[in-house]
Amino acid sequence: MAKIKDDIDKTNEEIKQKVKAAGPVRLIVLAVMVVATVCSYVFYDFFNGPDNIFDAGVYGSAFANDAMALIPKVIMSLRTITILLVIVTIVLFIVKKCFGKTQRGITVGGLITNLIRWVTAIVLIIVVLYQWGVDATALITGAGVITLVVGLGMQSLIADVVAGLFIVFENEFNVGDWITVNGFRGQVVSIGIRTTKLEAAGNVKIFNNNSIQGVLNQTLKNSIAFAHIDVEYGAKLPEIENVIKANVASLKVAGALSEVRYDGVSALGASGVTLQFECDCYEGDIFAVERAMNGAVKNMFDEKGISIPFPQIVVHK
């Protein structure tokens, strides 16, 4: 499980680097918006009072007068956006601090972050439209009717959202886990409201949450890497096994979490007797560990004079 912790630390470090890269710009923009919002409250009468210059109609052009009359509404909308952004920024910061330390925390925190952003966007649109004179009650009622109509034709989307919630809250798998879904093996890089993304060998496969069934979670426990090496039929198997048992525990395999174990004869092949070796490893390293174990066993066989057979064909005449 040490490897999982390393992956989590690496993910957190990447997030920190991204935040450091974009953070100053966002903070400056947000600070400017906050200062402008404070000024709009301080000079409220100037922008919204009965004698403000924007409603005076001092220009000879009707278009100019109408454009000036819209400025207070624009200021009010920007003020609302700023207040919501400050609140959401604080909430997201708290969510990150509370949920960003473990695999489970990263998964739940990512889902909560997505939900907060969606809810904030919806609330912001309704509030801003209300400030511009749109009846919010009628909008919400109409949205409810539209949602009902659209929902009947978007059952798959709703199913994806519900399935995503169950995946997270039932803790079926988390970000950083290695899983197999529909024959595709990969590491979970994100669990969203609608989709889940798996990465393997630099490729990212996206699954709709509702289509994820029969998941094989390969990270809950350590995986087992296998190596299959042939020896000649003419060799004396008991002598070979004695040599193996005396030396197998001393094999050094990069990435292995345990000593190499000898299991015995796994098959009688066309050209030799197949011997099986195994060791524990992290699922993400299983292929590299198998390659390293093949090399270690081969080197041991060479040192002890154990021959690995070439393919042979026996012809009876």
Q: Which of 39-43, 196-200, 223-227 has the lowest mean pLDDT?
A: 39-43
The tens digit of pLDDT for each residue in 83-136 reads 888 888 888 878 777 776 666 677 777 777 777 887 888 788 877 877 777 766
* Domain finish residue from 120, 148, 176: 148
Amino acid 137: pLDDT: 66
Residues 137 and 6 in one domain: yes
Amino acid 145: pLDDT: 56
Residues 120 and 15 in one domain: yes
Q: Is 53 a member of any domain?
A: yes
Q: Is 28 a member of any domain?
A: yes
> How high is the mean pLDDT of the chain?
79
Q: Is 312 a member of any domain?
A: no
Residues 87 and 8 in one domain: yes
Residues 20 and 82 in one domain: yes
Domain that holds residue 181: 164-217
C-alpha separations of 77 from 4, 81, 97 in Å: 45, 6, 30
Q: Could you tell me the sign of the dihedral formed by the alpha carbons of 293, 298, 301, 302, in that order? A: negative
Residues 84 and 98 in one domain: yes
Whether the predicted pLDDT of 19 surpasses 80: no
The tens digit of pLDDT for each residue in 48-57 reads 666 666 665 5
71 burial type by CB count under 10 A (0-12 exposed, 13-18 middle, 19+ buried): middle
* Domain finish residue from 172, 188, 217: 217
Residues 98 and 127 in one domain: yes
Residues 40 and 54 in one domain: yes
pTM here? 0.55
